[in-house]
Amino acid sequence: MNHKERLIGALNHKVTDRVPIDFGSTPVTGLHYDAYINLRKYLNLGLDIEKIFFTSKMQQSVMPEEEILQKFDVDVRGIYLSKPNKSLDADFEDGSWQDMWGVLRKIPKSGSYYEIVNSPFQNKDLSIRNINDFEWPDCNDEGFYNGIFERAKELYEKDYGAILIIGGSVVHISQFMRGFENWYMDLILNPKLIQEIMHIIVEFYIGVMKKAFYKLGKFGKTIDAVYFADDLGTQESPQISPDLYRNLIKPFHKRMYSFIRNEIGSNVFLHSCGAIYPLINDLIDAGVTILNPIQVSAKNMDISKLKNDFGDKLIFWGGIDTTKLLPSGSKNDVKNAVKKTVEILGKNGGYVLSASHNIQTDIPPENILELYKAIKY
């Protein structure tokens, strides 16, 4: 089987010659910049800083270069939107960075990621009028779509699986813009306020998806999945109650995901960390077909239970622990975990192998290699 056939088979819950492999197709299945530097040194590969592609500036995550993707026999590649021609996105002399949503971040001296310094809507007296007067990003900005047609054509011609990176982070972005404390309070005390923010975000992403698939033309049909991300869980439970999710957030998710399912006909890939078991049926109802990262270290995220309860409705993507196994386990531990995960989640198809989040700086290169070698034993 070629890479594309292997991925399509797994997405259709069919047994393939081996489970498909992902490494860096999305902003949450790659590795931290520093971890990438370490991996290339370990493999005795040179480094051209100019060629490094950051999949998420905030997370400092990067996409491995093609020579590594081919070495690991990776089956799927990402198609990323470009920077808009006009937005609030800016870098400042003090090292801080403002994203297109007006959220200001900076990497602390001892840190590895950009952390929030200031949020545009953190004022407790925020009004609907303030929200509507904000300089929101424009889905019609042609800059977003530079190169996506060419990238999709390339992946099609090389028989790789393709995932379009949209994001669509209704929860994340509204939390970042409003500030976490205000966001949680708004859900109870002023839901219309937070829903106005989420409404604008969703309409932006609906516009982006329409424009992106128009630009992709005939290659829109070659997209295997569209990537969304919204962390809904903590280590022990969902961030909010299932009822609150259903009433306030699920309608926004369903609007975006159903657009992809009904109007585009592609899979909906959702990245959602944490203990989200109580929400999975709602996510399926909203249109999710691929669930990532399968954070096995979180409560009630046992892979046997997940496969038994949802294996006929979901494709699982990830599941190799980045909190303890990959940082601290032996190569044999990694090998055994991969074999067990493939045996359980890959039974009768419906599984794509990757780590349960980006490879972090505390994960030794030996274990990264073992993760991708183990599938071939």
Would you call 320 helix, strand, or coil by DSSP?
A: strand
Q: How many domains does the chain have?
A: 1
pTM (predicted TM-score): 0.97
Dist. CA 178–CA 182, nearest whole Å:
6
* 242 touches 174 (CB < 8 A): no
Dist. CA 345–CA 336, nearest whole Å:
14
Task: Count the neighbouring beta carbons within 10 Å of the beta carbon of residue 199.
Answer: 17
At how many degrees (to 10) do helices 170-178 and 191-216 cross? 130
CATH code of 211's domain: 3.20.20.210
Rg (CA), the chain: 20
Would you call 259 helix, strand, or coil by DSSP?
A: helix
Q: Report if residue 265 sits inside a domain.
A: yes
Tens-digit pLDDT profile for residues 213-271: 999 999 999 999 999 999 999 999 999 999 999 999 999 999 999 999 999 999 999 99
Dist. CA 112–CA 32, nearest whole Å:
9
Q: Report if residue 104 sits inside a domain.
A: no
289, with CB counted inside 10 A (0-12, 13-18, 19+), is buried
Q: Report if residue 119 sits inside a domain.
A: no
Q: Report if residue 117 sits inside a domain.
A: no
Dist. CA 84–CA 82, nearest whole Å:
6
Q: Report if residue 186 sits inside a domain.
A: yes
Q: Report if residue 248 sits inside a domain.
A: yes
Tens-digit pLDDT profile for residues 112-157: 999 999 999 998 899 999 999 999 999 999 999 999 999 999 999 9
122, with CB counted inside 10 A (0-12, 13-18, 19+), is middle
Domain hosting residue 299, numbered range = 3-89+125-376
Q: Report if residue 300 sits inside a domain.
A: yes
Tens-digit pLDDT profile for residues 177-201: 999 999 999 999 999 999 999 999 9
Q: Report if residue 367 sits inside a domain.
A: yes
